[in-house]
Homo-oligomer: A and B are copies of this chain.
Amino acid sequence: MIGDIPAVTVAAYGRSVGTVHPRSIQFNDPLPLESGVQLPAPWTLAYETYGQLNAQRSNAILVCHALSGDAHAAGTHSTNGKRPGWWDAFIGPGRAFDTDRYFVICSNVIGGCAGSTGPASLMPGTDQPYGSRFPVITIADMVAAQARLIDALGIDVLMAVAGGSMGGMQALQWTVSYPERVQGVLAIATTARSSAMTIALNTIGRQAIIRDQRWCGGDYYAARPPVDGLAIARMVGHISYLSDQALADKFDRRLQDHPAIQYSVEPEFAVESYLEYQGNSFVQRFDANSYLVITKAMDYFDLPGRYGSLRRALARSQAHFLALSFSSDWLYPTSELDALAAGLRSAGRPVRQIEFDSPKGHDAFLLEDGLMSPIIAEFLEDLAPLQARFV
């Protein structure tokens, strides 16, 4: 552990927000993109909110999702309680993001495929999906789109922006793009600058999709999509989200269906079945072109490169920072958060950095609510007295 665990303990587990309603908002102005082109109007963001915006509009927290996430961060969409939001354990009454106190917002990124405008959406002025015509976007573009949503909700200043993995990139970009609008940043299992290793892992996923004959240059929506390439991409991703130890703990060398090896090239070990299942179920809910566009946005993410240096990028910020990492995360290891924290200190920004001891790899940011919740709750608590400066 870097940093101290606070003596304060909170009711980390609290309650779920219960049944929630997916929402969406349409924007009728084009969105200028970093590439110089525009995302034409109309374009849409899917979003959800949890808790109530207070009268001062000062208790809003934007939660940003990772590569395969969506706007459904908490609660369930139906009363049967199936498919809780991806950060459900963190968001709710008495949870880390306490919906008795805070107004929590989450939206699907542009380029995504869960309600927001992406490559599978109909291109305005045509009766066809964008497909290959969807522009390649950046993390800053995702954040610019979110800013329109925050505007529409009547919120000037976000008390905090939080996210893990690509969500953390968005949180960092928010305070750089809109320094006067962000009071606190929670950057979890993330980086300010995508590494050669993360680019390498993403490019294999992209190559698997692009080399799938069904990809058809991106215009596959009238036919069978490139599910094999996308499944392989997901399997590569999954390996990078887990640690050696997590895989050993979960599967070791256990066989799936037979008491002994079958001398076959087909999957036999439980870890093989698991990956195959993850790949095959992912293609039911995710669009291959979105995978290409979103991973490319991650690969482009480079605050030092974009702004001259990390210090210069972060010197724009007026926020307080919480930087969290996990000991077994080899995708965004603690060294990435060390670099971020060093940049923040050189820019004169307050930062609290903690490495949690966890065997769960990168996925820990979704799973270690017990470890993270007291830290997150305390960080948010400490932001409250600072609001006068912003509001």
Q: A-side interface residues toward B, CB under 8 Å?
A: 35, 37, 135-136, 193-197, 199-201, 203-204, 206-208, 210-213, 218, 228, 231-232, 235-236, 239, 244, 247-248, 250-253, 261, 263-267, 269, 271-272, 275-276, 279, 292-293, 296, 299-300, 302, 305, 330, 333
Contact = CB atoms under 8 A, between A and B. Distances in A.
B195 A248 contact: yes
A253 B200 contact: no
B244 A136 contact: no
A218 B264 CA distance: 12
B244 A197 contact: yes
Given A207-B231, A236-B204, A305-B253, A263 B197 contact: no
A265 B253 contact: no
A144 to B, nearest CB: 15
Contacts of A232: 204, 207-208, 211, 232
A276 B207 contact: yes
Q: In the complex, which of the residues A267, A272, A300, A330 has the most CB atoms of chain B within 10 Å of its own CB atom?
A: A272
A213 B213 contact: yes
Contacts of A261: 300
Contact of A265 (B37, B210, B213, B228): B210
A235 to B, nearest CB: 5
A195 B244 contact: yes
Contacts of A292: 265
Contacts of A235: 203-204, 207
Contacts of A201: 239
Contacts of A197: 239, 244, 247-248
Nearest to A300: B261
Contacts of A228: 211-212
A61 to B, nearest CB: 31
Contacts of A212: 228
A88 to B, nearest CB: 27
B251 A196 contact: yes
B236 A269 contact: no
A263 B135 contact: yes
Contacts of A272: 199-200, 203
A269 B199 contact: yes
A204 B247 CA distance: 15
A265 B134 CA distance: 11
B200 A279 contact: no
B211 A35 contact: no
A35 B268 CA distance: 15
